[in-house]
Amino acid sequence: MFYRIMRALVRVIFLVLGMKSEGLDNIPNEGAVIIAANHVSIWDPIVIGAALERPINFMAKAELFRNSLFSFIFRNLNAFPVKRGSADRTALRNSLELLQNGQVLGIFPEGTRNTDGMAKVQNGVAMIALKSGAPIVPVACIGTQYNIPFGWFRPFIVRIGRPIYMDKYAGKKVNSATLDQVSDDIMKEIDRLLCK
């Protein structure tokens, strides 16, 4: 309920401020989906959540959950913590459970905000996709880095690409080479969306 109210409110505000969405029809209407987006601003998860019809469960850095008020807000916005810099089994388990239940998982595969183009994609999203079989939908947030908190808003775009299905990796061993290949595919697709 809280998520839906906040999404409706934020969507109206962002549309007034010039948010544009492209490729919304690339998001499957049902079933497990992984949203993999570039991360240039603190606005990115909010903007993506406002653009999509389906609720998104974002993986967010554990530090954001230390404050009890922020933790309450983030959890009610369907976010859950991940410990960066280590293999967080709890976050992995939560991700796979959400996907098993046909929900949408949101991940920023670079692992942190990066304003200098795409950084190397971490292999976590590839691992989750291969283990779950869920398609990865690449998303490019364009222009959100110019809308810093309390700054002047400029128009920005959420550009959504075609799903990357895991079928082409079926039968392959889940090893570092396969993880790197999936990660490279994600990075190329997001780069392509950014350069359109």
* Token pair belonging to 179: 């993880």
Residue 110 — very low, low, confident or very high, per pLDDT cuts 50/70/90?
A: confident
Residue 107 parent element (H or E): strand 104-107
Is residue 188 pLDDT above 60, yes or no? yes
Q: What is the mean pLDDT of residues 140-152?
A: 68
- Give me the CATH number covering residue 109: 3.40.1130.10
Start-to-end Cα distance in the chain: 36
Is residue 88 pLDDT above 90, yes or no? no
Which of residues 140 and 1 earns the better pLDDT score? Answer: 140
Average pLDDT, the chain: 88
Which residues span the domain enclosing 160? 2-195
| Beta bridge pairs of residue 35 | 106, 137
For helices 124-132 and 89-100, the axis angle rounded to 10 degrees is 40
Sort 106 into a burial class: Cβ within 10 Å, 0-12 / 13-18 / 19+. Answer: buried
Model confidence pLDDT, tens digit, residues 26-73: 999 999 999 999 988 888 998 899 999 999 999 998 898 999 998 898
d(CA 86, CA 61) in angstroms, rounded, equals 12
Is residue 151 pLDDT above 80, yes or no? no
What's the confidence (pLDDT) of residue 119? 61
Residue 57 parent element (H or E): strand 56-61
Number of separate domains in the chain? 1
